[in-house]
């Protein structure tokens, strides 16, 4: 399998634009401190770039 990213929601979604909340759902994040693993693709990197101020991202 290819490289994966561990993505953790570090900040609350309260007060964020609706579009950012939709992006978080697309990444599979719903709760604070929840971590998901996603493939390291340009599409996922684009979503992360959009809401990076809410996330902590690490390889593996």
Domain edges within the chain: 4-59
- In this predicted structure, what is the pLDDT of residue 53? 96
- In this predicted structure, what is the pLDDT of residue 60? 77
- In this predicted structure, what is the pLDDT of residue 31? 96
CA angle, 48 then 32 then 11, to 5°: 60
**What's the predicted TM-score (pTM) here?**
0.88
CA distance 17 to 59: 27
- In this predicted structure, what is the pLDDT of residue 37? 97
**Tens-place pLDDT, residues 2-60:** 699 999 999 999 999 999 999 999 999 999 999 999 999 999 999 999 999 999 999 97
- In this predicted structure, what is the pLDDT of residue 1? 52
Q: CATH says 4-59 is which class?
A: alpha beta
CA distance 41 to 49: 12
CA distance 28 to 32: 12
């Amino acid at each position: 399998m290819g490289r994966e990213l561990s993505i953790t929601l570090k900040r609350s979604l309260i007060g964020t634009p609706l579009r950012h909340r939709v992006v978080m759902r697309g990444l599979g994040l719903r709760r604070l401190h929840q971590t998901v693993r996603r493939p390291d693709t340009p599409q996922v990197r684009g979503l992360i770039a959009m809401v990076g101020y809410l996330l902590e991202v690490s390889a593996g």
